[in-house]
Each structure stands twice: as structure tokens, then as C-alpha cells.
Structure 1
């Protein structure tokens, strides 16, 4: 019989895990496959690991867990889960039940089509989400799809069910700086989408504040687009053009009006503008260099401390 590997990254999910486990167990008999649960404890500081050990003791053939040596981030936790999955189908889910487990049933049936390699969940709305976060999320996807050759669809989460060949293809991408939403698209394969209404966390607090989401968005831009570097070049040329005009204006005014005092303000303004733009462009280039630096060091994406 075929098997589904359910990968669940966990970071401080002690409140959510019992709810998640009960819900996923309800739908398991409705899918005619074997199951394995692979929970990845990503350096939690609460009782998450203790709960995972208990679940494993109660059902060691079904429930497995990976305990990472520290918090490596969700991307690394998902990659760790993929590396341990043995199923013919592989799914990635959050423990907070924002990914509805019952959607797996529909995903499985769609995936029986031999021409479909992956079924991904896509939110049909953003009810309950702060409007500012929704605005910037939509803005991110619009910009991303304009500057990148790898499309990233608005509303699509990491929650998806993949056939083994696609899971192996994603696993082969061993890069340190990971942006899975882009990687899932980059590897190709035929993907269908299932819509569902947005859900709030069943328990606990979200770990994704505005600044973490902003950092995640910047990583997406840099990992899948050269547009920021091109922007640095074009904007640099624009500033040079403006500076040339400004210099001609300042020299012309000095010749015809001979007023050095008024020229001081314009000179300072030009200098501050030029220095500000230069620092911005250096920051963009530095971000790319930092990503290269972390890649060439060749450090592992994650380190496993314990697994069962």
C-alpha cells in the first residue's frame, strides 16, 4: 500500500499539537494509504518536545519526530522533514491548524490523476488577518511576479501534497538560503490548486510578526531575482545624470550671480542625496554578497540532535 508522509515543522507549539494530532487522526481513515507523521522540533523553548516524545511512545510506528539542535527556522525544518520522509506522497503542514487537515482528502483524490504531480492549498480570502499585513502580502506577490522568472502565486501556502518525484526534486535543492514557495515552482511539475477559506490559529500566538515577514519577503526577492541588482545599476545611472545637471546649474549660478552662500545649500543637498543613494545601492549589493558568503561556507541547513 502507498504511504503518505506528513511533515509538520514545530516551534513552540505545545498548545496546538494535541488539537492538530486529533484532527489529522480523524481524516486518516478516509485516505486509503499508510501514514507516517514526521514532526520537526525546531528548537522549541516550551513543552513541544515532551509532547512529541509522548506521541511517539504511544504509537512508534506512526509518529516520528526530529529534534534539531537549535532553532534553524521553518525553511530548514521543512527540509529536515523532507530528508526523513519515506512516503510515496509527501505533505507539508503547520501544527496550528491553519492548514485544514480535511483538505488532504481532496488533494489525494486529485493526485490520482497521472498528469498531476502536486496539489497545493490556496487561501481564497484573508479573513481575520490585519489589513496592513494583507496589503503588504498582496504587494509582495505583485512585485515578486514582476521581477522574477519564477512565479509565486498569491495565497498559496507551503501546505501541499506531492508525489515522490517532486519531493525528491525539492530535496535535491540543498541550498542554504531557502525560499520554498519559489523552490516548489522552480522545480516544475504539474501543480493543481485547492481553495479554502482562511483560518485562524487554533491555539498559541503566531511567530510571524511584520519584521520577520519583511525579512522573508526580501529573501524571496534576492533568491529568485536579479532585479534589485539591476535597480542599483539603473538608479546609479539616474543619480549620475541628476548630479551632472546639478553641477552645471551650480557652476552656472556661480558664474552669473556669484553668490557662494546660496551655493552651499545646493552643494550639501546634492552630496547628501548622492551619499544616501550610494549607501542604499551598497546595501543591496551587500545583501547578495552575504547570501553568497553563507552558501560558500557549506554549512549544513540543519543539525539533528535526536530523532525517533
Structure 2
């Protein structure tokens, strides 16, 4: 069989300790990847530690297999994934986290499923969230439940970004050039035959996660806006419902005044109603504003990332 190339796209943010451990772990299973050469593409997403220094040294030591991309600042994991996919040259491309929460030992099985069973993509999903804070696990589970109700795109509970894709699927993902990206949704939206492998949750091998509960919450809001217009419909429904309720109470007040000579009492009720209606209006405006803001950012046509340095060339 002709040798094929496997590209591993690995976003890195303050991961100087994890990178050597990740490289060693993948090298251990290299012999199980038959008739395959490996291309590592590490993407330094504006790290503030010595991540870039580690990548420079490793690229010198392994010039035939290790490549790195370094951004001018932190653009986020989604931009790092896109940059890695854009620079990957392999016949197959895998996306992995450098902290070894994505087990490299699954790669041989993933490659087998694509080669021999004609899948276009093999993804992974965690069957538990052992070691995570309970509130984070609860919010993640609820996020997938809500997304599957309000979006036409199917979201697999516990799915990771960790997946192996054919070149055809990678090209399809790269054809979606929006700045506001949610990769799990994009991977599902482009379609293609996908199989998911399950595995037990694994702890980070070094360092700590840069994802807080708040940042994950904001990320989930972006996902909802990117893949569902239900919040806009909800805003319309809230507006219509508040109008109907207001008309109903207006009729009640008129009837009480005309038939029972019992006018509505003073300002407390009036202030309460004004505050309630005003709050609903601001809520609906916030939903519309979120969509409008996303549209505004897309119309600017800004690049998804800015590359400052690679293993091939450094800008001065």
C-alpha cells in the first residue's frame, strides 16, 4: 500500500509543559499507524508562557515531521483549528487537544474505520465527565439538550473536537469562512458519514484549562446564535404575548371602571407594569442585537487569524 500522510492539528495556549508529553505519547503509537507518515501542526494561539520557544526547539529537532504556526495575538481555539486545517497537507487530518484528554491510542482505530469502512469522519465522545466540576458538567449536558431542540444540526452529547477527517471533508470545512466559528456545529453541518468512538474522560497531563464556566457560557451563546434563529422567534413571541396580556388587562380595567366604579389604584401598579414591559423590550432588543452584532462582524471581512511566525518563515 502506498504511504499516506496523517496531519495532526494541535492548538496550543500556554501549553509548554504538555507539548513534549503529547509528542511522546503520539510517537508511542506511531508503529500502529501502518503505511502512514505523521505531520504535526502545532498552532500557538498567542501563548504567554514559553510555548513558542518549545515549538521552535522541537521543529529544529524534528524538521521532517513538526511544523508550527504562531499567531500575532490570541485569536481563540476556533481560529487555531481553522489555521491548522488550512495548513495541513495530509491525506487525512486529525484535530487533537495537546493536554492528552484526547487519547492518541484511538488514532489507529480511527484510521482503520476511514480506510476500510469508508467513513468520511471518525469523531469521539466522552461517556462521562469524571473530574469536572458538577456545575460545568450540568451546563454542558443542558447545552447539548437545548441545541438539539432549537437547531436543525445534530449535536452529539459529549462530543469532542477530536476527530479524524478525510481531505474532502476538511476542504468542506475550510469552505465555511465565517469569522464567528463553532467547530462542533460546522463539523455536523457539512455532513459526511461520521462514526463516533466512546472513551472514558481523562484528566489533563499538565497545566490547567483556560476555559472557565463564564467563558464556556459565552461560547455556548455564540453556538446558539450561529446555528439557530429560535431566539429571534422567541423575542417575537414574548413581544406578542406581552401585547395580548396588556390588552386583556386594559379590558379588565375598563370593565371595572364602567360597571363597578372601581378605578385601578395609583402609581405602584403602573410602575410595576412599566418596568416589566421595559424589561421585556430590553430582553428582546438584546437578542436582536446579538444577531446584528454577529452580522456586523462578518461584514467587516476581517481575517480569522493573523500569522506572525511559522517554522518556515518569520515576519520582521
Q: 2:38 maps to which residue?
A: 35
Structure 1 CA distance for aligned equivalents of residues 140 and 261 of structure 2: 52
One of 113, 118, 137 as aligned partner of 1:115: 118
Match of 1:12 among 14, 22, 28: 14
Partners of 2:123 and 2:28 lie apart in 1 by: 21
Q: Show the counterpart of 1:295.
A: 298
Structure-1 separation of matches of 2:178 and 2:117:
30
The farther-off stretch of 101-110 and 39-48 is: 101-110
Higher alpha-carbon deviation: 106-115 or 174-183: 106-115
Deviation at 1:246, TM superposition (A): 2.2
**Offset of 1:167 from its aligned partner?**
0.6
- Is residue 92 of structure 2 the alignment partner of residue 89 of structure 1? yes
Question: How far off its partner does 1:200 sit?
Answer: 1.1
The alignment's TM-score, normalised by the length of structure 1, stands at 0.97
Counterpart of 2:90 in 1: which secondary structure? coil
Selected match of 1:159 from 157, 162, 165: 162
TM-score (norm 2): 0.95
8 Å CA contact 1:94–1:159 kept in 2: the answer is: yes
Distance 1:202 1:220 in 2: 28
What is the count of residue pairs matched by the alignment? 307
* Residue equivalent to 2:64: 61
- Indicate conservation of the 8 Å contact 2:253/2:263, yes or no: no
Following superposition, the deviation at residue 257 of structure 1 comes to: 4.5
**C-alpha contact (below 8 Å) 1:14/1:46 kept by paired residues:** yes
C-alpha displacement of 1:247: 2.3
Matching residue of 2:5: 3
- Residue 285 of structure 2 is matched in structure 1 by 282
* CA deviation map 1:2-43 (0-9, x unaligned): 000000000001121121111111112210201100000000
Cα distance in 2 for residues equivalent to 1:257 and 1:127: 65
Out of 137, 155, 174, the position equivalent to 1:134 is 137
Contact 2:6 2:92 in 1 (8 A): yes
- What is the DSSP-based 3-state SS (H/G/I as helix, E as strand, rest coil) of the residue aligned with 2:224? helix
CA drift of 1:113 comes to 2.8
CA offset digits 1:78-128 (Å, max 9, x no partner): 000011000000000001111011111111111113531000011111111
Aligned equivalents of 2:137 and 2:252: distance in 1?
Answer: 45
Measured in 2, the distance between the counterparts of 1:252 and 1:266 equals 17
Map 1:253-292; keep pairs closer than 5 Å: 253-255=256-258, 256-258=260-262, 262-292=265-295
How has the CA–CA distance of structure 1 residues 114 and 103 changed in structure 2, closer, same or farther, with 3 Å as cutoff? closer
Which residue of structure 1 aligns with residue 314 of structure 2? none
Tell whether 2:206 aligns with 1:213.
no
Give unmatched runs, 5+ long, in structure 1: none
Q: CA deviation at 1:248?
A: 2.5
Residue of structure 2 in register with 1:191 after alignment: 194
Q: Does 1:22 align with 2:15?
A: no
CA distance in 2, matches of 1:199, 1:82: 25
Q: Per the alignment, in what secondary structure is the counterpart of residue 71 of structure 1?
A: coil
Gapped regions of structure 2 (runs ≥ 5) = 312-316
By how many angstroms is 1:235 displaced?
Answer: 1.1
Find out whether 1:223 has 2:239 as its counterpart: no
